[in-house]
Structure 1
Amino acid sequence: MRVVVRTVSELCITAGAVIVLFVVYVLFWTGVRADRAMDDQIDALHDQWARQGRGAAPSPGPSAGAGGGAGSAVRVTPYGDGRPFAVMYIPRLGFTWNKPVLEGTATGTLKKGLGHYRGTARLGGTGNFSVAGHRRTYGDPFKDFPELRRGDAVVLTDGTTWFTYRIDKGPYKTVPSDVEVIDAVPRKSGYTRPGRYLTLTTCDPEWGHSHRLIVWAHLDSTQPVEAGEPRALRR
């Protein structure tokens, strides 16, 4: 009997240790790796922009299926799958908060930053520039997403231009199957006509994924990087 009790006790201790290590991995180590990966993505972008020189990045414009008219003469370079193309700043989440935006929303991509939904508008373009991010794990980029409020600024740069969006609605709670939230004119956003919009999405609850939280914003202003940081980023 003592042998059985000892064996069961050792198994319980081992299982407990494994659980603790898994929690440490999820809560700490994935964050460390993600923060390092996001910093690397931002550094790579800055290096790329420095090599290209100002004005070398592709100009923003509509992407296919995101509000562009048929036969448009605007030619744009597609974003590279899984590659960074912009940096996002949200002062409400802290003046040191900045994350890279990569093309696509694959699991591996979202481990390195925020992901741009393929087929939605380009940054600054007509339509709905839509971006997803983890609420928890992998750096917790949108941990404080529920704190976002109407009027908050969401600022992005592609190395040549600053784009300042202003939140109009959210956080709005919905289900994962509600894909209309990233339509060119999202019906539940309150927008009624084509424009230059931004949608941010993340999971809800904080440690689950049964629902989604959404905010919608409109493009409020743009300015060249040579003009310095936009007012929204000045302390």
Structure 2
Amino acid sequence: GLPAPRAGEPFAVLRIPRFGRDWDWPVLEGTAVATLKRGLGHYPGTALPGRTGNFAVAGHRRTYGDPFKDFPRLRTGDAVVLTDGTTRYTYRIARSPFRTVPSDTGVIDAVPDKSPFTRPGRYLTLTTCEPEWGSSHRLIAWARLESTAPATHGKPAAFRS
């Protein structure tokens, strides 16, 4: 796999077909305010794509391009496709979005608390704010890795300069 990304650095592109053909966002390392202005953020200390553990990603519901505006539309079985330049990872949503409070950090544990998962595996957690224009709660969606394949066209367009 690729080396661990540096803070603020983009290292993958996330696509969610449910959100439309043109929906794709860079995933950057970290969840600092400045990072989330530029795309989705990978929670430091959570797994890297395709690895055993939980690859956890935060994104804004509204503001900074509204990446997760349609988050409540996610459904069990939806594909979430992540490409890191060498590999394409396809995850499948395991349950519709779940509402919780910001202090409930167990949702990004290696085996996520309150998720349908009970043993170690290769998981993805997506998090965003709830309600749409507030941040009193969080919406969480969990997915499990279904397949991996070589990335066909090298680094995604978002990384070509």
TM-score of the aligned structures, taking structure 1 as reference length: 0.64
Q: Residue in 2 aligned with 1:204?
A: 130
Give per-residue Cα distances to partners, 1:161-190, cap 9 Å, x unaligned. Answer: 110000001300000000000000012111
Cα–Cα, structure 1 residues 138 and 226, in superposed 2: closer, same or farther, change >3 Å?
A: closer
- Establish whether residue 138 from structure 1 lines up as the match of residue 64 from structure 2: yes
Distance 2:139 2:42 in 1: 16
Distance 1:169 1:185 in 2: 15
Q: Residue in 1 aligned with 2:91?
A: 165
Q: Residue in 2 aligned with 1:116?
A: 42
- Establish whether residue 175 from structure 1 lines up as the match of residue 101 from structure 2: yes
Distance 1:175 1:82 in 2: 25
Q: Residue in 2 aligned with 1:101?
A: 27
Distance 1:215 1:170 in 2: 6
Q: Residue in 2 aligned with 1:153?
A: 79
Q: Residue in 2 aligned with 1:89?
A: 15
Distance 2:53 2:116 in 1: 14
- Establish whether residue 186 from structure 1 lines up as the match of residue 100 from structure 2: no
Larger radius of gyration: 1
- Three-state SS of the structure 2 residue aligned to 1:180 is helix
Distance 1:202 1:98 in 2: 16
Residue 227 (structure 1) shift: 8.9
- Three-state SS of the structure 2 residue aligned to 1:96 is coil
Give the aligned residue type for 2:10. Answer: P
Extract unaligned runs of 5+ from structure 1. 1-58, 61-76, 229-235
Distance 2:75 2:49 in 1: 21
- Establish whether residue 125 from structure 1 lines up as the match of residue 51 from structure 2: yes
Residue 152 (structure 1) shift: 0.1
Distance 1:86 1:226 in 2: 14
Number of residues of Structure 1 aligned to a counterpart in Structure 2: 154
Distance 2:127 2:86 in 1: 26
User: By percentage of residues, which structure has more helix?
Assistant: 1
Q: Residue in 2 aligned with 1:18?
A: none
Extract unaligned runs of 5+ from structure 2. 155-161
Q: Which has the higher contact order (CA 8 A, sep 6+)?
A: 2
